[in-house]
Structure 1
């Protein structure tokens, strides 16, 4: 299906996606890149990130991957700062990382619930992200 958006609608923009190495996050990263954005993806599995970055770059997308866990503040800060350092700015943040426990709510353990909250309300929410320039 052809995109309804102008092919360069995101030209010059930089996007950071948590959980961008696979699934929905990877497809969002791909579409952002195909519409002109440079893309940084964050994930816990380095091998998955490396593969995703290679796939994005094979489409001519400027992409970089940063290994980290959104549940750890120091990882979130490092990835945010590394993205700005690498691309010189940050315009778009997509908190896509998630944990999935395929059980009904009443069967979810307290630890599982805590993990879900840590994924779904990532540390990035604590930051005010505006256009960063060198």
Structure 2
């Protein structure tokens, strides 16, 4: 018998349920003091793991549903494609709806499940709407990739207040709004992967104070949400820190020759390619990282160690 969603919500933080193979409800999370602090009675759902499973299945997302924000271009396209190829149904969320509709059509033609939803993550109502659309279309939500972001190359004294606020509104506030909306829908636990930047940990040859500050804040947000939600809700929250990748967003850097100057600081000797992030993303989104939360995975060719 399928658990009633209203019943689950009413129980709130007291208990969470999932179905076993026989269709029976089982307590997954309890705040009962007799069980210890927010202890799991059972960990059967592969999104947040705990159960023994064959090695190939650790990275499978069959039957899972994922939202990828900022999936209209750049790294977001690669993230959405990776999750779809791993078996997840993907919800493509971005402001440029024509682009995500095109990607959804391509993924569908390749045999995957995908839908596009016009989304501005700086709008908290939009964040709720895309989550509702995911549940309405696919019946659940298991994975959120907070990838959407904007930036500007401008000296701090020359950046106007409106642009500074807009970058923070999208990159950090938007990540938070999406996480809140997704957490409310993750009735069976889940995984949130926040996409930060190497500029959260180091500096480059171009001035980007607002962008760097917003991406550093994402790492702090990741840690806090992990300690709030992993025990009580079964939601793991982790971050990926990409290094320097040639994408639409970084085209100004490439055109200005900024990346040429950075190559000497990258032990791998090259810029990153979208596929370099696939393994890290899939690891954090799947049962392979079931005992990992609040962590930062750096994928930068060694930049931050130089």
TM-score by structure 2 length? Answer: 0.39
Structure 2 spans left out of the alignment, 5+ residues: 1-54, 189-306
1:131 equivalent among 175, 182, 186: 186
- Spell out the pairing of 1:1-134 with structure 2 (5 A cutoff): 6=56, 9-121=60-172, 122=174, 123-127=177-181, 128-129=183-184, 131-132=186-187
How far, CA to CA, are the matches of 1:55 and 1:102 in structure 2? Answer: 33
RMSD: 2.0
CA deviations 1:52-86 (Å, max 9, x no partner) are 11122122110000012111111111111111111
Structure 1 spans left out of the alignment, 5+ residues: none
- Structure exhibiting the larger radius of gyration computed from Cα positions: 2
Report the CA distance between 1:6 and its aligned residue: 4.2
Does the 8 A contact of 2:144 with 2:179 survive in 1? no
Does the 8 A contact of 1:13 with 1:90 survive in 2? yes
How far, CA to CA, are the matches of 1:21 and 1:90 in structure 2? Answer: 20
Q: Structure with the greater relative contact order (CA < 8 A, sep ≥ 6): 1 or 2?
A: 1
TM-score by structure 1 length? Answer: 0.86
